[in-house]
């Protein structure tokens, strides 16, 4: 909860999600829907006012390089960990931000930027430190001859590679990628997405991958959670969400993806009306003020997130009555 113009604003409300080891969970929704707040709350970079953040499910991961000495077999509610001990967890959980310009210190060389987390945590020095920095820079596709330069000498895509190298240098296992490609040129976006995919494979990473449109997550994610004004509308395996969306908001987001085929006649489901103010959301279904299928019931009671198929959850009163358009129908 944030205080916004002296009102309390519940940026994320009643959201329950799990992320399996080694998977990419996509989190999509328009700007302001609470995605960053949720990502930060998971890492305890903001303190949630309620709820639990359970880390690890009790199954050891023999392939993960665990540098922190934390017991792999125990599940733990991160919200109960005393702040000084969170350092041990932050080694394993990192965040990559949208804006690689803002997230790098302009007065530090790239080598120092990447090395800093190791130095601060006392994890390496001397030639060992240098080796670790060179290794991760290499893996992230950076030219190691340029490590003594400053961030301004690099392009947007290169800067994002630097930010990724810095996040990975401590061998974390869980990464919140907060819109990591939205600030980049379209021509560079695929390169960074591919890099993140390759790194996930080779370093056995688990991602919470945040994006504001479905195009980026379709490629990156195994499952997708769709968020609207602080609540989950639909959670499904990526393919199901694409071809058989069951929530009207997902259908609307889907039709907003530009079709690369200029001859294709799209029948977009437009998002009309204003997005509600998160400080005073509408009663009932939060999407009811913009939903083309809304009926009286929608404005009266809040739809619960319910299972509709294997791994597929939807919060809509009319989920069993509606036939929505998936990617194929929308592409004509």
Ligand X SMILES: Nc1ncnc2c1ncn2[C@@H]1O[C@H](COP(=O)(O)OP(=O)(O)O)[C@@H](O)[C@H]1O
The residues binding ligand SF4 (CB under 6 A) are 248, 285, 287-288, 291, 293-294, 298, 303, 316-318
Tokens of 71: 């017991």
Given ligand X, ligand SF4, Mg ion, none, residue 317, with its beta carbon under 5 to 8 Å by kind, binds ligand SF4
Nearer to ligand SF4 among residue 14 and residue 66 (C-beta):
14
Nearer to ligand SF4 among residue 133 and residue 291 (C-beta):
291
Which residues in the 4-33 window bind ligand X by CB under 6 A?
Answer: 4, 9, 11, 29, 31-33
The DSSP bridge partners found for residue 228 are 231
Which residues in the 28-47 window bind ligand X by CB under 6 A?
Answer: 29, 31-37
CB 301 to ligand SF4: min, Å: 9
- The two most distant CA atoms of the chain are separated, in Å, by 68
CB 210 to ligand X: min, Å: 7
Tokens of 146: 């340029």
Residue at token pair 């009790």: 58
Residue numbers at the binding site for Mg ion (CB under 5 A): 36
Given ligand SF4, Mg ion, ligand X, none, residue 278, with its beta carbon under 5 to 8 Å by kind, binds ligand X
Nearer to ligand X among residue 37 and residue 68 (C-beta):
37
Residue at token pair 């060992």: 128
Residue at token pair 């005393």: 82
Nearer to Mg ion among residue 36 and residue 200 (C-beta):
36
Nearer to ligand SF4 among residue 265 and residue 274 (C-beta):
274
Q: How far apart are CA 3 and CA 283, in angstroms?
A: 21
CA 60 to chain centre: 24
DSSP-assigned letters across all residues of 319-331 = TTT-----HHHHT
Given Mg ion, ligand X, ligand SF4, none, residue 285, with its beta carbon under 5 to 8 Å by kind, binds ligand SF4
| Count of Cβ atoms closer than 10 Å to residue 10 Cβ | 18
Q: How far apart are CA 180 and CA 98, in angstroms?
A: 5
**Is residue 166 within 8 Å of 117, Cβ to Cβ?**
yes
CB 320 to ligand SF4: min, Å: 11
Q: How far apart are CA 226 and CA 254, in angstroms?
A: 11
Per CB under 6 A, residues contacting ligand X are 2, 4, 9, 11, 29, 31-37, 278
């Amino acid at each position: 909860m944030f205080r916004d113009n002296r009102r309390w604003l519940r940026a994320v409300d009643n959201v329950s999600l799990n992320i399996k080891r080694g998977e990419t969970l996509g989190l999509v929704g328009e700007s302001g829907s609470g995605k960053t707040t949720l990502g930060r709350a998971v890492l305890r970079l903001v303190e949630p006012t309620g709820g639990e953040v359970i880390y690890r499910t009790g199954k050891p991961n023999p392939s993960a390089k665990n540098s922190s000495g934390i017991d792999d077999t125990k599940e733990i509610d991160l919200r109960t960990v005393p702040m000084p001990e969170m350092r041990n967890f932050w080694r394993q959980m990192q965040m990559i931000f949208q804006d690689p310009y803002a997230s790098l210190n302009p007065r530090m060389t790239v080598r120092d930027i990447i090395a800093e987390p190791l130095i601060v945590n006392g994890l390496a020095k001397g030639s060992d430190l240098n080796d670790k920095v060179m290794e991760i820079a290499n893996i992230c596709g950076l030219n190691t001859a340029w490590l003594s330069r400053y961030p301004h000498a690099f392009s947007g895509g290169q800067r994002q590679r630097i930010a990724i190298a810095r996040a990975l240098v401590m061998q974390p296992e869980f990464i919140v990628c907060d819109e990591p490609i939205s600030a980049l040129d379209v021509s560079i976006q695929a390169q960074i997405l591919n890099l993140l995919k390759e790194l996930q494979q080779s370093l056995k990473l688990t991602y919470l991958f945040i994006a504001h449109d479905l195009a980026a997550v379709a490629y990156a994610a195994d499952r997708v959670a769709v968020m609207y004004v602080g609540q989950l509308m639909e959670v499904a395996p990526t393919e199901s969400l694409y071809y058989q969306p069951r929530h009207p908001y997902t259908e609307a987001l889907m039709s907003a993806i530009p079709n690369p085929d200029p001859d294709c006649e799209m029948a977009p489901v437009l998002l009309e009306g204003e997005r509600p103010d998160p400080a005073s959301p509408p009663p009932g279904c939060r999407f009811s003020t913009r939903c083309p299928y809304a009926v009286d019931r929608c404005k009266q009671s809040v739809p619960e997130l319910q299972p509709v198929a294997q791994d597929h959850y939807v919060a809509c009163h009319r989920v069993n009555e509606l036939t929505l358009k998936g990617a194929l129908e929308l592409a004509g």
